Amino acid sequence: MSEEAKVRDQLAAGESGPDLGRREILVPGGHGTAFVARAGQLVEIVDVEGQQVADFVAFAERNRTEWLSTTHTRSAILRLTVEVGDRLESNWRRPMFEILHDDVGRNDIITSMCDDRRYRLDYKVEGHRSCRTNFTEALEPWGIGEWQIPDPFNFFQNAPIHRDRTFGNEIPSGRPGDKLVLRTLMDAIVSVSACPQDLNPCNGFHPSPLVIRIIDSPGEVP
């Protein structure tokens, strides 16, 4: 049995996971979750079946006017994508996360999240789930409203940047079990969406689950 299948069985059985100090969240394809990550904890995002994008936003736990910012991160790293070793900055130019591990090596920090307007205006589809809906639902317990949600980090998204500075939207190269690991540098409210987009190549036309692990021990870095 694969590691991901074991996690699914444990979750289905109501078990908390194999190790103390670990938390696992199974995010069904097209849905989202939110949780608190403490400074020093690792956040591991697993692409269970492959080709799935993980939209990721975060707020400083102590002050919701500070959030994880793609704009400030781009300005800090002087690059249009993120990779292992990068520190992801807040709108107050403080590091919130560091990328420790990345199996896929393709991440997008340019494009917006999907929302109901995207599906209604561009695809003529009403009532489609969206990353904005997922974030809004997941962050509601913290009093964070829809209008406060910042542009996301789109982990695993395959948006290649071309020589003429246009960029694409292609099927992700993530394989089953591929993961990205972040070290949390600031107590944060985190939300992750398994992007529901099934009408273009963004998720291989088939949204699928993510597993999120919040890990206490830095010694468990893969």
CB of 28 to Zn ion, least distance (A): 14
CB of 95 to Zn ion, least distance (A): 26
CB of 57 to Zn ion, least distance (A): 12
User: How wide is the angle at C-alpha 113 spanned by C-alphas 78 and 77, nearest 5°?
Assistant: 10
| CA dist., res. 148 & res. 22, Å (int) | 29
- Write a three-state SS string for 107-132: EECCCCCCCHHHHHHHHCCCCCCCHH
Of 94, 133, 93, residue with least CA distance to 113: 133
Nearer to Zn ion, 24 or 115 (CB): 115
Nearer to Zn ion, 16 or 112 (CB): 112
CB of 17 to Zn ion, least distance (A): 27
Place of tokens 């956040």: 43
Residue numbers of the site for Zn ion (CB under 5 A)? Answer: 114, 131, 195, 197
How far is residue 211 from each of residues 28, 32, 41, 110, 123, measured CA to CA in Å?
9, 11, 16, 24, 29
Nearer to Zn ion, 17 or 201 (CB): 201
Nearer to Zn ion, 131 or 182 (CB): 131
